[in-house]
Structures are given as C-alpha cells and as structure tokens.
Homo-oligomer: A and B are copies of this chain.
C-alpha cells in the first residue's frame, strides 16, 4: 500500500516546478540541478525527457500557456453585443485580473515578462501568437470608440497607453506596493486599479 497522494507523471511534475523556478529566477539563473532537486527527480531526468535545458524551457512555456488559456480565453470573455465602451471596460478588467491575480495561470505571464529583458528564441513566437492578437482585439474596441475620428497611428498609440498602464502594475509591482504601503494586491486593490484605468482611459479617448 502506498500512503502518498496519487502520483503525478514526472514530466508534468518537472514542467510545473520548472515553470515556478524559471518565473522566479529566469532562464539563466535557474539550474537544472535546482529544478530536479525541487521536483524530486534525478539530475538526468531533464535531459532524458526534454533533451536539454533550452528545450525544457520551451516546453514549459507551451505548457503554462495552455494552462493560462484554459482559465483566460483569448477573447477575454467579452460579449459581442455590448457597447464599445462596455467592451473596453471588460477588456481592461479581465486584462488586469490576468496580470495581477496570483496562482498557477499567472506563471505564464511572469515567464512572458522575462522574455523582454532576457529574450530567448521563443520571443518571436510569443509576439505573434499572444501579443499581436491581444493588441488587435484592444485596437478594435478603440477604433469603435473613436468612431470616424480615428487614424491608424492614433489607435496604436491609444492601445499602447492602455497596455502601458496595465502592465505597469505588474512590472513595477515592487514600487507600486511600496508606494501604496501594501504587501500584495488584494482583490479590492485589483478592483480599484482596473476601475481607475477604465475611467482614466475612457476620458483619454475623448475627442473634443
């Protein structure tokens, strides 16, 4: 008889542990020895299952991306029949939640963010498959709100203004928390932040 929990496949175990460590420390600082140790597998397991460290990293990215997509659908769960302003609000709210909420699905976002300062070969794929679609989705809402008063460049810049605001609260998290005198983002904090960005941005999109 075995008193342990139902044992997970080692491949999956490594993918999850490696995801945590890569997110914490980045590709370079993370060592296969550390990953294997925390996973409770032998040092040679990574090379046996994945070939080498680089291929493990790519597998980790793909694995955690699929997990994130399960919780966070790529259409952001937005109701197509809503008004343009409502759609933008829903987008920002969902996007902020993705960025600031803790838990396993947020691991992909952290791995993602690391690609900016420490880009690997996976960077281009991430841009094409994750960023551009999201950017185009947001742009479509902005275009509707601006009406016939839009230019391509204006839409692009406004989309970046919104992305920039949202991403700041994750990328500059240590600073934000220190200024707000908090230890972490509470659900109420997240709500306040998304409401602020929605309010600020809807006014920013005004033409007068």
A160 near B168 (CB under 8 angstroms)? yes
A161 near B200 (CB under 8 angstroms)? yes
A161 near B165 (CB under 8 angstroms)? yes
The residues of B that contact A174 with a CB separation of less than 8 Å are 116, 119, 123, 127
A171 near B116 (CB under 8 angstroms)? yes
Main secondary structure of the interface of A (DSSP, over half): helix
- How long is the Cα–Cα vector from A28 to B28 in the complex, in angstroms? 8
The 4 closest A-B pairs by CB, nearest first: A164-B168, A200-B204, A164-B165, A204-B204
Residues in chain A within 8 A of chain B (CB atoms): 26, 28-29, 113-114, 116-119, 123, 127, 131-132, 135, 153-154, 156-158, 160-161, 163-169, 171-172, 174-176, 178-180, 192-193, 196-197, 200-201, 203-206, 208
